Structure 1
Amino acid sequence: MAINQDNEPMQAFRSRLADEIVDIPVRMDPRTGNYIVLWSDIQDGFENAKSVRKGTSLVPFITNDNFEQIIPLRIAYHPGIVLEVVVGGSTQAEPTAIGRETGDHIHILSSPFPADFNSMTQDMTTLTTTDYNANSQLPVKYSDGMPEESQSAVHSFNQLYHSYFQAVMTGQEIQAANIIQSVNQHFDGLQAEMEKNKTLQEQLVQMQQEMLQMQKQTLERLAIIQGRVQALLTQTYELHEYPIPRLFIVLPKEKGLIDKMKNPITDQYRLYFLCECGMHTMAEHSKTPPLIHLAKHEGYDVDRPTEFFERYGSYILTLMNMIKFGIIAASVIVPSLASLKILDGLDTTKEHINYIRSNITPLVDNTIKALQDLKSINTTGTELTMDAEFDKLEALEGADLRQLESYLTVKDQGRVGNLYRIVTPEGHVKWHLREVVELNRGNYIEETGRIEIKIESSNLARQFYDEMVKARGIQELDITLYWDATMDDLRSLAKAVAKANVISLTIDGTHFKNPSFDVINRGRRFDPILQLASNTGVRSLQLKGFDDFFHRTSKPSMTLAQKFRVFSMKLEVFDEKTFQSFQNLLEDGPLLTTLDLNLDHQYSVVEAISSILGRLQKLESLKIESRGRSIAASVSQGKMKVTGLIIRRLVDFDFDQYKFIRKDHLCNLTRLAIKYTPDEDPLADVLLHCPRLSHVQIGCKSERVLAIINRVISTRERILQEERSSCLRTLEMMIVGLKSFDVLADCDDYTYIQSILSFAEDSNAFGMRTWIRLQNKMSSMDNDPVNDFIRQHGWSIVFFDENKTKNDTFAAILDDIPSTRAAQLESLRFNTINFTASGFIRLDKIIQRSPNFKGLGLNVHLSEQGSLEMAQSLLSQYGTQLFSLELYGYVEKWLPEIASSFPTRDSFPNMASLKLKSNPPSRCIPWIVAMISSPSQILVSSSSDRSLAKNVVDKRSTRSDSEVTGSWTKLRRFRLRFAKLQPEEWRQLIQAIDFSVLEDLGFYESNFSREQLKLLIDCIPNNIHEVPLKTLDLLYTRLRYDDLLFAELQRKALLVTIEKYVLRDIGNKILAFS
């Protein structure tokens, strides 16, 4: 809904003769309290306003009970809709192009009136209702003594006369309308001379009448075209009848054919689909309605063009005339060809698309002529008038649309023409670009009938509900309401869900507050949700962010018998009222099988549930989460058996403190997770008292890992020695907090060890895999806990990352691991500055004796010639196994050498992480682009150093097809620190980034600015449902604080955390904020 600066509602209007939207203030009728728009206000905004239309319907004036128009005249307010004003003598079928001016300048067509006017008229049979012969030019005789100024005026009038006919016959309606205005001005200027010269008067009057006649015929011609096109646009289809877009045009394929249209049978054509944008895709606050335009696709070659045109010729001719002249029909706007807006969105990087853009008018005209010539051949010379031809025209049936694709050469396997099918609020099936569907950050998984969407206003919500109801087959709805929804808003949602027969509903109410304007419904705000669950087919209900849910539901709604089988809720408030309401809700859910709760007061909830378990006869599964703790239980016949626990510390296992967890409950415990390092004795106690425990996870400090592993192993051996059975199969030693190990993460000030032990059934044997990231200087002393772990279980190491050891200690320790069991080493990452030549020899020996080795990560310090040669040797030897590369030191000096030796990603096909910690020279930008590009991207060379860019391309192009597979691992991580790049260099880098798998991106302490952020946001695709980007490091950049840009980034990349310490202007000071 449009509002002005004073937050008052506005009604949007547009003239049928112009694209501009005019907002007119809305007034409130004091008698009825309804919003209205005064007719006088409309007339002030549109001169000669005659009527107002909504689509094809007339908007009537408001009347009283006796159906008398109320004075002053007024119409009803239509929020969110652009009404059309009929101006002057315009009619319902009024073309958009006629009468629309582009400026004050009138261009006079200089070429003489064509001598072959008769043949031109015959060629355009379908565009005229009768032949018109204007070949005989009327000689304009000047009277003796006629002033030179008058002679010039007569000459100009004659030029305008012929220019007008040429403009009309070539379809230049805007030009023709402007010429008419100029003709009238010249005619008025010749009044004095006409009074003296009767012959001149007769000639000019006749010429003017002929122009008026031609104008009338033009309007009749366009009215016929518009009527037929409107019939096509309003044709509706069921979903199964509409497998391919119905709107398309056909153009000659090659330049050389533009003047060779006499034999259409042998000519080649290409079909281009149209995106059906219209009022139903108009953004809420936009004043300009979207226009139909060519889809973002290169088009499809037409096979068997003769057969194709014989079947679809009349239909195509209508569509070609539609884009030539423009039309407003069926809530869509087709721009006239003269405006070139039909070409908006085309990819101009393709050569043939540029050709189309430059020659669209003659291409359209020649297609029309080819179709007319084909009609003439098929009718054996019989003249076919426009009326006769259109009488044969029928809208395509579903079968016609399904067979259309058989005439096309389809090379891509994606959606036809990059278009996406939706249903409009009126129930019409339309084909749109995917980004149109995703305007509300929505995702439709057609295979499962699931919609995930985030909506920001009630108006947009109503539009979505209408589409959802008519789309059919929607089984699951996950909706986030990004505004403070009222009871009426939730009632609308419930009504739509019921009509659409949604089975599984998830509502995110995180953004709900306490609406001050909905005070009357404060205590029953969420009633529609419970009523929905009791009266419809919803079987699964999940609520997020409803913190005061039980305070905003009435008692009658609580007593409704709930039909849902799955109930999930995240709730923070759990006071006495909530406790009682919660019990009432569960008691009235006899069909409930699964209960999943996330609450602050975990144990009070368990107590509440325990008291009514006997009445929940069908309940099978219970899960309760609270402040990092989690209880999972199976339920049978009202009895709870705890099967899984996540606790912060082992002291939380105190049975006396938490009475609801009784020892008999734990007899069925199968999974236990402890977030922080436990003591060994209590842990052994748990293992002894939980005989069915099969999976244990422990977040543990690295120095305690060895002791806890050994205690678990010895406890399990004790159980087996006592001839008891042990169900323990897996022990996971994780990072503190139960964090998983990331092999691409940077080293920090801590050492991390993650181990997974797999135990055999009723045996002491076990397998083991270990990941180590070593930051502290590792000692060779026996009392070093990490060294002790390596000595005892070093055989289990699959990944080792070190950054601090000196004098080849790292290689020595690995080399000294006892070979009691087969080595499992798969990957290493190390800093080359810590190694000598002898250290590399030992390291290479370790790799050679590790049969499973497949990955190497290198942190390369480029300080001198020796370090460069060492780096080149390592990269040459292990390049195909490289998964991580970090270059730092004197990068500006030595990076060109690296880039020259390894110019393409084919040198490092498995690299997933790239980090540069220095300002790269301009000549290396093409190399960085090559490293971060996806396999499908084309390397764009930098103008700053053509030689290196050419080298990058040449090295790749000279390799054989077997060597260049065009496929490599896409980057998950890219960091560029201390860079000071030019805008063009930033553009090349950012546009090369592949966001389909990238999780970590950073430009720490660089000159990355607002312009680069805008470009980065634009480059994040809309067609990825969930962009994987999790971290964006913008610390100490030149970026100033911009709420809107950060919000837009968060909208596109929902998972991202922005690490920023950016500048913000406050008064005359610039402060930094993190």
Structure 2
Amino acid sequence: MSAVPSQAFRSQSSSKVVVLPTRQDPKSGRHVIRWKDIQHCFKDVQYVIHNGLVVMFLTDDDWEDLIPLRIAHHPGSVLEVVLIDKSQSGSDSMAISLEAPSYHTHAADEPLMTPSSSQEVGSVARDVASLSIREAVGYQTHAVCPQDYTRATPTMSPPWTNDNMKHQEQLHQLQQQMQQMHRQMEEILGKIQQASQHVQGTQQQMKDDIDTTLQQTQTYIQQLEQRLEETRQREEALLTSQQQLYQLVEEVQQKVQRLDQEVQDSREATRESQHQTLQQQLNEGLEKIHQMEQQAHHSHEQCEQLQQQILEIEKVHQQRQEYLSLQDFDKFVYAQHCVQAVLAKPCPEPSNPRLFIILPAPTSAVDGEGRPCSLRFRLYFLCECGVHTMTKNCNTPHQVHLAQHCGYELDNQHGFIDKYGSYLLTMMYMVKYGARVKGLVVPPLLGLSYAIKDGEDQEHLKFIKKNIDRLVDDTITYLESAISIINSETSTITRMDISPSELVQLKSYVRIMNDERPIGDLWAISTREGHCAWICWNHLVELYETDFQRLKCIIFGAGGICQNNKVQLNITSDTATKQLFDTIGKVCGLQDIVNWKLLTNISLDLSGHSLVATSTSDIISSLSGLKSLSLDFGRFSMVADGISQAPVSGVVMEVPQLSNLTPNDIELIYQSHPVVLKILRASKIMDGARLVDIIQHSTRLRELHRKLFKAEANSHCAPLK
């Protein structure tokens, strides 16, 4: 264990050296000497000197003396202790006690106590006196401490060693400082009074709070006493009820004992009679069981007879089903033959669609099984889409389907069945079983699809979609019965096709409510083979958009130009004319577009020579002196019904894409089979009069201007319409 460092002290008036042990500061770890330890050895100590300099008390970061007071350790040095000279204390004019400088503040290891006003005043007075003495002797209280944490002052002799002049100046300064300290003490006393008043107010508030708390406590105690009294009363009532309950239980137990005794007595009395009754019931039960066994044996015999009858009925039913299946198969084969014969035959006239069926009207009365009991039917058309409507990268199915139309009511249903019954039955077989012909596919009943449009037809089409299989079967049954009555034979189809005149007369049996819509919402087109087919709007748009793009490519390839949404082509040679028309004739579907859209406004510059040709291109190329041929994309404004052929002359405008048009905006005028170019190819045109006659009777050309130029003079012929 290491020795504790010590510090040597010696008084100026004595040569005796006093050694005091040091203390280690727990915060800084330095060795220090407490001022109280020095005062214990030197009672009249005033300050300590080391090498002529006053040793100052250690301070904190705010230059406040550390409590308790302490000085730094000076190892190997003897510090001189300056004592108070009592002989000179009476001659000094200062009325200040020269006690050791100390701050009456709380040390870190002493508890903090709140002093009274008088104690605070005394402490402040002592601090002021000590401060005055320090200023009087010229201490530098805020000098920078050396490395050993001690304060140093300039080397100077004590104030009482100077001459009288300096002493008087110091006294004068001390008086001024005393006055300043007096003012500070007055301010401090004022603050102390304010603090005292604040303490008194706080005490009064605390007293009021204590009184309020006491009052609330007394009220709470009273409430507890009341609750305690109520609890005591409830306990007394509970005890009373418990006693009454005990008495009641005793009475019940006594009654139960009496009842048990009575029951035991009655059991002994009735046991004999019950035994006799049970024996009698047992005998009756055995007799009933015997009767039930006899009945069960009889029922078993009846069940065997019924099973035998059921087997016989099932055998008969199976034979009948086999017979009916053979009949249905024969009917299916015969129907397929008839359907293929009808579909393979090209449509003779474009007046009306040739594929149509009838179905019971949804407003017809129904019986208990949901079947129509009245004979009201509606006419529905089918879209003839197939290979002829397919285009590249098409997404629309190309199978025969119901048109997007709610059907038509029949004005003369009986006459309609008489006239078209056999053909209708063939169409119904086609819808039920399906059919396949070159380029045309009819799916079976379950594959028959159609779209439900919004509007007034929505509920009707939903009914058709939900009951299509039952409606088709009911229609076939009705038609077979009607035809058997008419022809006096069953399931025999006498006619498989329909004549052009019958197609023309079809409208006379149909009640058309809206003349603005085309019949069945179908439009006629020409196939590659030159036949007529009626398709729905979706297939029409897809087909004509594709063909129209092909035609535009052909026109642009021949040197056509596009200005103001109008394409114009000028042909100046016979070779270019022949190539153009030959190319148009080879593309499927373009013939209709050329006749329908392009040849609506043709200007021909002729020289008046005779014509000998076998085709349209030959007609134009044979014209000697041909100047130019202009083909303009134009569209005629049509009447709203889509059926009439009356055009509005003089109206020629650009043709937008079909996807931007509505069905009522498209010109669909067909009086005869659309083979205008074929008619021209098959005719031998010998002169200009023959050409004029053909043009005048053409159903596609709407306006044709012929201009004759002669060498002598120009003459203009009236336009041919």
* Same fold per superposition (TM over 0.5): no
Judging by fraction of residues, say which structure has more strand. 1
Judging by fraction of residues, say which structure has more helix. 2
Please classify the TM superposition score into its range, dividing by the shorter chain length. Answer: 0.3 to 0.5
Higher relative contact order (CA 8 A, sep 6+): 2
Q: TM-score, normalised by structure 1?
A: 0.24
Q: TM-score, normalised by structure 2?
A: 0.35
